[in-house]
Chain A
Amino acid sequence: MNVLDIRGLTKKFGNFIAVDNISLSIREGEIFGFLGANGAGKSTTINMIASLLRPSSGEILILDRDIAKQSRFAKMNLGMVPQDLAIYEDMTSYENVSFFAGLYGLRGTELKDRTEEALQFVGLADKAKSYPRDFSGGMKRRLNIACALAHKPKLIIMDEPTVGIDPQSRNYILNSVRKLNEDGCTIIYTSHYMEEVEEICSRIAIVDHGKIIAEGTKEQLTATITDMKDIRIEVKSLTDVPADQLRLIPGVRTVRLDEMEPVIRIHSDAAVDNLNRILKELIASGAEIRSVEEQEPNLETVFLTLTGRNLRD
């Protein structure tokens, strides 16, 4: 059964076409990744699904019902976790969740139980009486999620739910997403972190210039890329890495420095044998190389190949 069906969806702002004739189906139980750079049309699509924007044309069906005609039914079955925190700083965690759950018609004991359950789910049960203004970024993000869960929606839209938080809170949220999915919830997940999407999404759509340019499982998407390779070089420190020099080497498309590990990630044309030249540049600049690995294309490679830019550009 499809939880969401989008047919010929278009949104125009004046002469600008933000979403261009998109069609898409999401099945029950999926975690559907929605990838796109800023301005690709991803948020506009999500906002139309959540009834925040009216489509210029096309239709959206949630559980087979047109949201334009049966808006209340659609909204009752939808939970929204907006990218920007959508919580009241001067209301306690409990009051926040309870207020939003109350707007879905929950009352009395049911409202109380569901509120406590949602707070328990995101690990904030002991902070029920605390105000979000005293919370860390991660705790606020978790409360932001709890506010979308208490009414037990069939479909949850999570728009960048892990942006700007510490790794611990990020792991907590990703585990929560998996748990929600195990409990039968269908999730639309957007993120700038490709690794997250790879890790938790069962199916992915890549959006660019208002159109869906690719759709499928991670394996299906990476299988389409045969002319690219990923080179992963682990170094002792990134300070001596001549990133600009590396970008000038024939075949190199992008160079990304990952400070967390520290690692250099290079996307390159598979047909060009340039590994020796890359290593020479690094050694000449004094970089201390620890390991070199040529990897199979991942989602980032797919995204780069299809859109010509990085997701975080």
Chain B
Amino acid sequence: MNNIVSIAVKEIKHDFRDRRTLLFMLAFPIVLMLILGLALTNAFSSNVKLGEMKVLVKDTSHGGPLADAFTSFTAELKKSDIHFETIKKGVNGLEEIRQNRYDGYMELTDSGISLYGNNQSAIEGNVIEGMLKAFTDKYNAVSAVAKVEPAKVSQLFVPSASANGSYIKETSVNANRQPGSMDYYAVAMSVMIGLWGAMSAGRLIRSEIVQGTAPRLVATPVRRSELFAGKVLGSIVQNFLCVLIVVLFSKFAFGAYWGEHLGIALLILLSEVVMSVSLGLGVSYLFKGKASTGILLLFVQLASFFGGAYFPVSVSGTDMANYIVLASPIRWANHALTELIYGQSSVFSAAWPAISLNLGLAVLLLAVSAVFMRRKEGL
């Protein structure tokens, strides 16, 4: 056990002293997260910013409860940046709408209110229509009550109660929290560097051969299984530490949201790192020399691209592209983390499939590596 720890510590020291590794594993994802997170903010936002809204009003009524209530209504909406202007003599309200000078045009008569919307500003028109509907519903309710119990009318039309919020009912297709761009890229980059562990693991054995230290290591009384275990352990710890640093940096420096179950999220990432290290090691035993580095590089880049590391990728239908997306380890982890962080599934059902898939593959790949290692002379 001591030998395994010694070898693992050596691996960790080696990687953390290598400036290129640090730049690659820490600085690059953090900078990429910052750039993509800031550049694509709008692409992830579900809010629509509305400016000042102007409504032209033509009042031909002769006073009365409806006119009074409408005056109160317009005064309240002014607080929400919806301004009502009384039409001047000789001005055609409909023409003003056509010219896009107002977002709506209302005609108030003794018999009721007519609203003309502006097709060129549909969202604003819908907002005005929705609020006017809320007003008329309330007015109708008051009228109905007045016919039965006139004394209770005042309780229904308390001005403070009709403050701006009471005319606006918030409805949403998905009321749950949705990831912003920084939230998305915090997860995506952390998952991506988790997979990058495959590349450093692919060099675990070859680096000893290239450095010339392989003969000395084999000449020591350390069993090859210990050497293997130490290297795997060291690589897992080193890669997971990098992932952890990126996660914590994104959380505390960029304010990325990691949900209520950070421990489980880290467990998903740890399982991904274990799988990645096993993948790198397995490929390095299956393919000799630089071929393994090339294969791993290609795999990691494709998996990153199709797995949603650089932009969100959705799965629909059954075509080949979807199979490729679903085969990306980045997609598994990304999907599991999104489900976990945004509460779209229970903690168990969000995390367990990805963790078990990662660990299952890791066991398989490590077993393949171990078989090849036993057959080989030297390292």
Partner-B contacts on A (CB < 8 A) = 47, 50-54, 71-72, 75-76, 78, 80, 82, 84-91, 95, 99-100, 102-105, 107, 147-148
Contact = CB atoms under 8 A, between A and B. Distances in A.
A78 to B, nearest CB: 7
Contacts of A47: 215
A87 B10 CA distance: 12
A159 B42 CA distance: 65
B221 A82 contact: no
Contact of A82 (B14, B18, B215): B215
Contacts of B18: 90
Contact of B222 (A84, A89, A103, A107): A103
State the main secondary structure of chain B at its contact with A.
helix
A99 B10 contact: yes
Contacts of A91: 10, 13-14, 17
Nearest to B379: A52
Contacts of B2: 102, 105, 107
A236 B295 CA distance: 59
9 contacts: A51-B219, A52-B377, A53-B377, A86-B214, A87-B211, A89-B211, A103-B6, A105-B221, A147-B216
B318 interface: no
Interface residues of B, number: 23
B65 interface: no
Nearest to A153: B219
B213 A86 contact: yes
Interface of B: 2-3, 6-7, 10, 13-14, 17-18, 211-222, 377-378
B213 A88 contact: yes
Nearest to B16: A90
B14 A52 contact: no
B215 A52 contact: yes
Given A72-B221, A90-B14, A91-B10, A103 B215 contact: no
Contact of B219 (A52, A84, A89, A102): A52
Nearest to A81: B216
Nearest to B219: A80
Given A54-B377, A107-B2, A147-B216, 12 more contacts: A47-B215, A82-B216, A84-B215, A87-B212, A88-B211, A88-B213, A90-B17, A100-B216, A100-B220, A102-B2, A103-B220, A148-B216
B6 A86 contact: no
Contacts of A53: 377-378
A39 B58 CA distance: 106
Nearest to A53: B377
A11 B218 CA distance: 18
B241 to A, nearest CB: 17
A85 B212 contact: yes
Given A87-B213, A103-B3, A51 B218 contact: yes
A50 B6 CA distance: 22
A99 B6 contact: yes
A99 B212 CA distance: 15
State the main secondary structure of chain A at its contact with B.
loop
B212 A82 contact: yes
Given A99-B6, A103-B3, A86 B220 contact: no
B3 A52 contact: no
B6 A102 contact: yes
Contacts of B14: 88, 90-91
A86 B216 contact: yes
Contacts of A89: 211
10 A-B pairs closest in CB distance: A84-B212, A86-B216, A80-B219, A103-B220, A75-B221, A50-B219, A82-B215, A90-B17, A72-B221, A86-B213
Among B214, B218, B221, max chain A CB count under 10 A is at: B221
Contacts of A71: 221
A51 B6 CA distance: 21
A135 to B, nearest CB: 15
Contacts of A102: 2-3, 6
A80 B212 CA distance: 12
A288 B189 CA distance: 74
Given A53-B377, A54-B377, A91-B13, A104 B220 contact: yes
Contacts of B6: 99, 102-103
Given A86-B215, A91-B13, A91-B14, A52 B220 contact: no
B269 to A, nearest CB: 27
A47 B216 CA distance: 11
B18 to A, nearest CB: 7
A52 B222 contact: no
A80 B219 CA distance: 7
Nearest to A147: B216
A99 B234 CA distance: 14
Contacts of B13: 90-91, 95
A88 B17 CA distance: 12
A105 B2 CA distance: 8
A112 to B, nearest CB: 14
A105 B220 CA distance: 10
A82 B218 CA distance: 11
A222 B220 CA distance: 37
Nearest to B19: A90
Contacts of B216: 80, 82, 86, 100, 147-148
Among B17, B220, B222, B377, max chain A CB count under 10 A is at: B220
A102 B10 CA distance: 11
A52 B18 CA distance: 29
B339 to A, nearest CB: 41
Given A53-B378, A90-B17, A104 B221 contact: yes
Contacts of B219: 50-52, 75, 78, 80
Contacts of A86: 211-216
Contacts of B218: 50-52
Contacts of A75: 219-221
Among B6, B18, B213, B214, max chain A CB count under 10 A is at: B213
Contact of B221 (A88, A103, A148): A103
B3 A50 contact: no
